[in-house]
Amino acid sequence: MAKKKTKFVCGSCGYESPKWMGKCPGCGEWNQMVEETEITGTPKRTFMHSDTATVSKPSRLVDVETVQEPRVETDLREFNRVLGGGVVPGSLVLIGGDPGIGKSTLLLQVSSQLSSNGSNVLYISGEESVKQTKMRASRMGINNESLYIYSETNLQLIHSAIDQMKPSFVIIDSIQTIYHPEVTSAPGSVSQVRECTAELMRIAKINGIAIFIVGHVTKEGSIAGPRLLEHMVDTVLYFEGERHHTYRILRAVKNRFGSTNEMGIFEMKEIGLEEVANPSEIFLEERTQGTSGSTVVASMEGTRPVLVEIQALISPTVFGNPRRMATGMDHNRVTLIMAVLEKRVGLLLQNQDAYLKVAGGVKLDEPAIDLAIAVSIASSFRDEPTGATDCLIGEVGLTGEVRRVSRIEQRVNEAAKLGFTRLVIPANNLGGWSPPAGVEIVGVSTVNEALKTIFGK
């Protein structure tokens, strides 16, 4: 006879334990163990349509013939760039984001564009009815004959619909609502998410169908469910942005078919998402000139240079320990640069609160922004504004030196397009390329030289 057995599964890593524990031994997270009921004594479950599986043999690498499959491009060039050039047939793509950020809108828009060339697209919604999805599609002006809508959460029925229809693309919205009837736990649990994703991966690889699945994001910012989910899929995309602002950022966290440094920027409008061709103008359009603590840096997001404003506010502290707060950049990087300014430049910052922010909501994590951070801190501390047409690029070392950065020519050309006339860059980046006309290039070797160039003292 079948017996019910209770077990506790970690919602972060999938670790299983017969008893509840406050701290997971697998990943070290606290309060992640969730109780699940498992039925034992039944025959081992087999996956659906397992009779279609073929037995393969090991092959020598030199004997394997490869066929270059063309990627399927959409009308959203930003979306194509983040994916690495387009949608790869047979891939499984996971898109995560906060509730209400626009994940369903993006995928419905992409579904319409993919179906416009005659390809059958199956949009499966587990959170909305067919009529609700139709209302949203009508608001966006979507009405394609090759786009099919299916409201279902049973994975067996979804698999049968895919076998009958044989679509080229499938969208699952969302994976937390889909359940496998042979798994006893509730939809959205660790076991259900893991089994359903594994079955969808098998469907995608065998039939050559590109499948997009939506994953909810927890309050910590990670995709709900075990981290194993991110390891199983081919590509993991995060849709970021503030719900009260119109701009959205699509970023690749994992991509087996392209770079993970690419970033796509969209603007949310009533009829859907519209791509932003020049994000540098968006990040700099509200910059206040003549104010201290503001600098501009040319950062690389994948293969594209983006100009972003870095703001700093330095004020005397009223606490025993000064506060250090950073938004859009690494907090440890700010602390390190402030220590360099105090030791190598002589700025007394140990009794000052520091608040730094990257304007526009973008996150920067490359070392080329170090010099701009240092100059913005010094500008706010001295209450002296930087030049309105100055742009700073460079990495700062612990000895106060300014180190070379990559792709300096692309950064300089992007700054010149937006009207910046003076660029302060590392001295080691001066040779081997020609700057654009009308732009003054100043090479510096230390932070002291950079501050003298910007402030004249």
Q: What is the pLDDT of residues 166-191, one digit of tens each?
A: 999 999 998 989 999 888 777 877 88
Residues 337 and 353 in one domain: yes
Share of the chain above pLDDT 90, in %: 55
Q: Establish if 54 belongs to a structural domain.
A: no
Q: Establish if 118 belongs to a structural domain.
A: yes
Q: Note the pLDDT of residue 212.
A: 96
Structure tokens at 393: 């690029």
Given a cut of 60, whether residue 132 has pLDDT beyond it is yes
Q: Note the pLDDT of residue 65.
A: 81
Q: Establish if 112 belongs to a structural domain.
A: yes
Secondary element (H or E) of residue 338: helix 331-340
Q: What is the mean pLDDT of residues 433-438?
A: 90
Q: Has 104 been labeled as part of a binding site? A: yes
Residues 218 and 255 in one domain: yes
What does pLDDT average to over the chain? 87
Which residue, of 277, 307, 327, is where some domain finishes?
277
Q: Has 98 been labeled as part of a binding site? A: yes
Residues 120 and 173 in one domain: yes
Residues 313 and 165 in one domain: no
Share of the chain above pLDDT 70, in %: 91
Burial of 428 by CB count in 10 Å (0-12 exposed, 13-18 middle, 19+ buried)?
Answer: middle
Q: Has 373 been labeled as part of a binding site? A: no
Given a cut of 60, whether residue 51 has pLDDT beyond it is no
Count Cα neighbours of 169 within 13 Å in the Cβ-side half-sphere: 29
d(Cα 429, Cα 408) in Å, to the nearest integer? 7
Given a cut of 90, whether residue 279 has pLDDT beyond it is no
Residues 318 and 392 in one domain: yes
Structure tokens at 208: 């050559």
Please report the beta strands in 108-246, taking only residues with DSSP state E, as ranges in sequence order.
121-125, 147-150, 169-173, 210-216, 235-240
Residues 243 and 294 in one domain: no
| DSSP conformation class of 287 | P
Domain count, the chain: 3
Q: Note the pLDDT of residue 117.
A: 83
Residues 191 and 217 in one domain: yes
Q: Has 419 been labeled as part of a binding site? A: no
Q: What is the pLDDT of residues 239-272, one digit of tens each?
A: 887 666 788 889 898 999 888 878 888 988 888 8
Q: Note the pLDDT of residue 41.
A: 53
| φ, ψ (nearest 5 deg) of residue 263 | -145, 135
Q: Note the pLDDT of residue 55.
A: 65
Which strand ranges, in their side-by-side order, compose the sheet holding 16-17?
16-17, 3-10, 33-40
Closest listed residue to residue 235, CA positions, set 437, 93, 434, 378: 93
Residues 273 and 292 in one domain: no
Sign of torsion over alpha carbons 218, 221, 226, 229 = positive
Q: Establish if 85 belongs to a structural domain.
A: yes
Given a cut of 80, whether residue 397 has pLDDT beyond it is yes
Q: Has 101 been labeled as part of a binding site? A: yes
Q: How is the chain split among helix, strand and coil, in percent rounded to 5?
A: 30, 30, 45
Residues 169 and 301 in one domain: no
* Rg, C-alpha atoms of the chain: 26
Q: Note the pLDDT of residue 26.
A: 82
Assessment of whether the complete model's pTM goes beyond 0.85: no
Q: What is the pLDDT of residues 30-47, one digit of tens each?
A: 888 888 776 555 444 444
Output the domain CATH number for residue 415.
Answer: 3.30.230.10
The distance from CA 444 to its chain's CA centroid, rounded to whole angstroms, is: 33
- Using DSSP's 3-state secondary structure scheme, residue 277 falls into coil
- The one-letter code for the residue type at 207 is N
Highest mean pLDDT among 14-28, 67-81, 331-345: 331-345
Q: Establish if 27 belongs to a structural domain.
A: yes
- Domain membership of residue 109 as a residue range: 71-277
| φ, ψ (nearest 5 deg) of residue 443 | -95, 130
Lowest mean pLDDT among 196-200, 246-250, 415-419: 246-250
Residues 20 and 166 in one domain: no
Q: Note the pLDDT of residue 49.
A: 47
Answer for the pair 254, 232: CB distance below 8 angstroms, yes or no.
no
Q: Establish if 66 belongs to a structural domain.
A: no
Residues 29 and 96 in one domain: no
Q: What is the mean pLDDT of residues 223-227?
A: 57
Q: Has 103 been labeled as part of a binding site? A: yes
Q: Establish if 140 belongs to a structural domain.
A: yes
- Using DSSP's 3-state secondary structure scheme, residue 175 falls into helix
Given a cut of 70, whether residue 142 has pLDDT beyond it is yes
Residues 20 and 79 in one domain: no
Q: What is the mean pLDDT of residues 388-397?
A: 96
